[in-house]
Every structure is written in C-alpha cells, then in structure tokens.
C-alpha cells in the first residue's frame, strides 16, 4: 500500500512562519511607532472615555442639594445629654421608629422633636440650627422639609422590623454610622428618576469598603444566603 504524502508538516511550518512575521510587523509598526499606527490615539481615547464615564457622568446625572437645616447626630446620640435609650440602637429608634406594618417610619415629625425641645423660646444648646428650628418650625407647628436619603420607590416593600427585631441587624449595617456625624451630607438626586443615590449606596457599581457603601440586590441576596434565608431572595418578596 502506498502511503500518501503528509501535507500537514509544510502547512504547519507556513502557518508558524506567517504568525511570526505578523507579530514582528505588529511590534515594528504598532508598538514601536504607536502614534503613526494610531494605537496611541486609540488608547488615549479609551482612557479619556473611561474617565469621563466613570467620574463626570455621575456628576451630570446627579444634582446636589443642601438640607434645610443641619442636624448633629453626635450630640443627640450621646448617653449623657442625648436622646433617651440604654443603647445606641435604642437611641436611633427613638426618632426613627417603625410603622405598624413594619416599615421604617422615616424622618421624625416636629412633634417628636418637641418632646425634648418643648419651649420654642428656650433652646437646649447654642447651635444656631436649633434656634432656627424652634422659631421657624416648632413655634409654628410646621414640618421641616427634609430631603430623605433612603426613600424607596412605591413599588418596593422593605420591612425594617423584620431585619432589626427578628434578624437582629444593626442600623449601621445598611445606613452607616450616622451617630458619629456632625454634618448632614448633601442630598444627591437622580435627574432622571428623582430618587436619591443613597437608595443603593454611594458606590453603586464600585468597590465597597463598608457594608453600607453599596446596597444592591446582590448584596441583600448574599446576606440572606449567609443567614439561611435564601427564600427571601425571590423578586416578589420586596417588589410588589
């Protein structure tokens, strides 16, 4: 039997030679002379586009607003002169209480503040914001038009009572350590949706150093899985 000649060998050698020449040409024409080849312009444009998208697009998407008054959480959280409560968690819940359905009550009303700040003519401290609050809101029985950072859309249901009371979660896990802040941060509002950036956390798609830096659905799902509550990852549990 006559064995046909093997043509794979010459073809393989030609392929290797072609690849070698292509790499040599790429190195000579592109890498050694990036501007002439256009590679330098491409890389510059790519980096510029990434910087514009990552840094400047959020600045254009979100508008920044100041709160009508500043609120010093440090003073109100102190054990000696602050709000009633044996623990920091209890002092948080004194103002930020639950509704009957388990939802978070949000920002306290003026009548909650006047339980301590009873006399509009007698401030408890020397903070000018307290004087403005007493004169412009408490004395006139008006509500402060606070900008709520974590106001969720109407289609979202989240039971704070289930997480704080039953799940024994600390408020700081999701909201950060507000008890140590003396200044309220600016309210960042999405120009398209009208929602605050804080409903997802400040680092929506980036690295999170703390648990409260980013609170997206996958972060919630991971926490449910760690605590053996995978059934709560179903969409309809939170989205009505």
Per-residue pLDDT tens for 97-120? 877 776 777 788 999 999 989 888
SS3 201: coil
Q: Compute the distance between CA of residue 172 and CA of residue 198 in angstroms, rounded to an integer.
A: 14
3: confidence class by pLDDT, cuts 50, 70, 90: low
- Residue 189: count of CB within 10 angstroms of its CB: 17
What pLDDT, on a 0 to 100 scale, did the predictor assign at position 130?
Answer: 92
Sign of CA dihedral 216, 105, 102, 82: positive
129: confidence class by pLDDT, cuts 50, 70, 90: very high
What pLDDT, on a 0 to 100 scale, did the predictor assign at position 120?
Answer: 83
Per-residue pLDDT tens for 24-54? 766 666 556 665 656 677 777 888 888 877 7
What pLDDT, on a 0 to 100 scale, did the predictor assign at position 80?
Answer: 82
What pLDDT, on a 0 to 100 scale, did the predictor assign at position 162?
Answer: 85
Spacing of C-alpha 227 from chain mean position: 22
What pLDDT, on a 0 to 100 scale, did the predictor assign at position 183?
Answer: 93
Helix (H) or strand (E) holding 47: helix 39-51
Q: Compute the distance between CA of residue 112 and CA of residue 109 in angstroms, rounded to an integer.
A: 5
Q: Which segment of 15-19, 83-87, 141-145, 170-174 scores lowest on mean pLDDT?
A: 15-19
Per-residue pLDDT tens for 132-179? 999 999 999 999 999 988 888 888 888 888 888 888 888 888 888 888
* pTM of the predicted model as reported, rounded to 2 decimal places: 0.69
What is the average pLDDT value for the chain, to the nearest integer? 82
Cβ proximity of 201 and 216 under 8 Å: yes
Q: Compute the distance between CA of residue 161 and CA of residue 148 in angstroms, rounded to an integer.
A: 19
What pLDDT, on a 0 to 100 scale, did the predictor assign at position 9?
Answer: 61
Q: Compute the distance between CA of residue 175 and CA of residue 214 in angstroms, rounded to an integer.
A: 10
């Amino acid at each position: 039997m006559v064995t046909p000649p093997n043509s794979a060998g010459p073809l393989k050698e030609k392929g290797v030679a072609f690849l070698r020449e292509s790499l040599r040409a790429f190195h000579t024409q592109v890498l050694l002379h990036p501007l002439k080849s256009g590679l330098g312009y491409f890389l510059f444009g790519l980096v510029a586009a990434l910087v514009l998208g990552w840094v400047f697009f959020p600045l254009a998407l979100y508008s920044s607003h100041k709160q009508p008054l500043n609120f010093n959480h440090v003073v109100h959280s102190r054990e000696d002169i602050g709000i009633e409560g044996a623990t920091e968690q209890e002092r948080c819940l004194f103002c930020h209480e639950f509704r009957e359905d388990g939802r978070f009550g949000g920002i306290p009303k003026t009548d909650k503040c006047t339980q301590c700040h009873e006399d509009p003519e007698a401030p408890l401290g020397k903070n000018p914001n307290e004087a403005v609050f007493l004169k412009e809101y408490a004395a006139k029985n008006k509500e402060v038009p606070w900008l709520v950072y974590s106001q969720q859309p109407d289609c979202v249901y989240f039971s704070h009572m289930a997480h704080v009371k039953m799940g024994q979660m600390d408020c700081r896990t999701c909201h950060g350590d507000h008890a140590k802040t003396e200044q309220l941060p600016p309210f960042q509002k999405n120009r398209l949706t009208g929602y605050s950036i804080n409903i997802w956390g400040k680092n929506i798609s980036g690295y999170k150093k703390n648990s409260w830096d980013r609170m997206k659905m996958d972060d919630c799902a991971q926490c449910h899985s760690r605590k053996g509550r995978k059934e709560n990852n179903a969409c309809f549990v939170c989205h009505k």
